[in-house]
Amino acid sequence: MSNIMLKVDSLTKCFGDNTILNGISFDVKAGEVIVVVGPSGCGKSTLLRCINALEPIQGGSIVLEEDTINPPSKNLASLRQKVGMVFQSYDLFPHMTVLKNVMIAPMKVQKRKKEEVEAEALALLDRVGLKDKANSFPRELSGGQKQRVAIVRSLCMHPDLLLFDEVTAALDPEMVREVLDVMLDLAANGRTMIIVTHEMSFAKAIADRVLFLDGGSIVEQGPPEQFFDHPQTERAQRFLHTFEFTAVKAHPALAEE
């Protein structure tokens, strides 16, 4: 299980003079679940976008299995088939039914047979509890249902690596759970995933390893128990502290009653 699937080496990404990622290096083993956390604007989303070749990079390298990822490369389409990505915004295609949304890429990109793709799509939709929505349009679904369809749409391409970019950030709290449960299920099945999230207890439950990003660099990384319970760096401690609240009672007298 220790074979390296993805190797990121001193990755640098700039927008103009603004350096977003400054020499990021890490490896992902097959079957590993990496959770990336950090304050907003630290480059988490950009990191995922670079791995999916949505952004050209200015330095370093990203190697997936044998292939180098950088947008100008010729074999982009085959690379993207190996990497599935789910975005924060609901990015289903509004003019297609749920089933068509899931089937378009396997049929048009991988040229697979319609019957075979449809059977798999329905099975996957069933797994996330949405088989009865196969012929609905995205506008008829809740936010949580849309994100589950988006995950199914990625899975149907049989990607080796799944990227999740704050997939629950735009959801109402009661819908977050249903999406996270699907992701936990994927992790239990040995999927290789890189997850950007703000759900700290979820991160703790799903991660094999946590990367803490700040200011475009990896400040700290380690197993989740260590990172969340005993963060080594001062910046990580400060970041985790923002998720804690101290009890404040306006009227202590009332609370005692």
Q: Residues interacting with other proteins, by CB under 8 A?
A: 52, 54, 77-78, 80-81, 83-85, 87, 89, 91, 93-95, 104-105, 108-110, 139, 150, 153-154, 157
Nearer of residues 111 and 249 to other proteins, judged by Cβ: 111
Nearer of residues 90 and 212 to other proteins, judged by Cβ: 90
Q: In this structure, how many other beta carbons lie within 10 angstroms of the beta carbon of residue 152?
A: 25
Nearer of residues 109 and 188 to other proteins, judged by Cβ: 109
φ/ψ (deg, to 5) at 166: 45, 55
Spatial distance between the Cα atoms of 186 and 216, rounded to a whole number of angstroms? 29
Q: Which two tokens stand for residue 236?
A: 């990580």
How remote is the C-alpha of 205 from its chain's centroid?
Answer: 15
CB of 231 to other proteins, least distance (A): 33
Three-state DSSP class for residue 25 = strand
Instruction: Pick the closest to residue 85 from 178, 186, 182, 167 (CA basis).
Output: 167
CB 208 within 8 A of CB 184: no
CB of 83 to other proteins, least distance (A): 8
Place of tokens 């977003």: 20
Spatial distance between the Cα atoms of 226 and 228, rounded to a whole number of angstroms? 6
How remote is the C-alpha of 112 from its chain's centroid?
Answer: 26
Nearer of residues 94 and 190 to other proteins, judged by Cβ: 94
Nearer of residues 93 and 243 to other proteins, judged by Cβ: 93
CB of 140 to other proteins, least distance (A): 11
- The dihedral of CA 193, 205, 213, 87: what is its sign? positive
Integer Rg of the chain from CA: 20
Nearer of residues 16 and 173 to other proteins, judged by Cβ: 16
